[in-house]
């Protein structure tokens, strides 16, 4: 199933599923990094795939990346 995301759907998802805000106003595909603003005020870039599937929904200060081991 190939779900098509638009910037407004993503914005909706971000609002409902995280404390972050979406700052990007265009969406061109899964490989594109989107700009978010964390609840702490920091801005961070992440692909929507990571945001959604890997639950990386905060900046690296609030949610440090897990060590890969
Ligand atoms: Zn933060």
CA of 66 to the centre of ligand 1 (A): 15
Instruction: State the pTM of this model.
Output: 0.86
- Continuous segment of H or E residues that includes residue 47: strand 43-47
Q: Return the DSSP state at 51.
A: H
CA of 64 to the centre of ligand 1 (A): 9
CA of 22 to the centre of ligand 1 (A): 13
Q: What is the pLDDT of residues 39-63, one digit of tens each?
A: 999 999 999 999 999 999 999 999 9
Give me the pLDDT at residue 2, please.
Answer: 58
The DSSP string of 2-46 is -PPP-HHHHHHHHHHH-S-EE-------TTSEEEEE-TTS-EEEE
Q: What is the pLDDT of residues 3-29, one digit of tens each?
A: 789 999 999 999 999 999 999 999 999
């Amino acid at each position: 199933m190939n779900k098509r995301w638009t910037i407004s759907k993503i914005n909706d998802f971000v609002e409902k599923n995280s404390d972050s805000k979406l700052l990007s106003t265009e969406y061109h595909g899964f490989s594109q990094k989107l700009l978010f603003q964390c609840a702490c005020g920091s801005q961070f870039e992440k692909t929507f795939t990571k945001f959604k599937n890997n639950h990386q929904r905060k900046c690296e200060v609030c949610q440090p990346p897990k060590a890969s081991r």
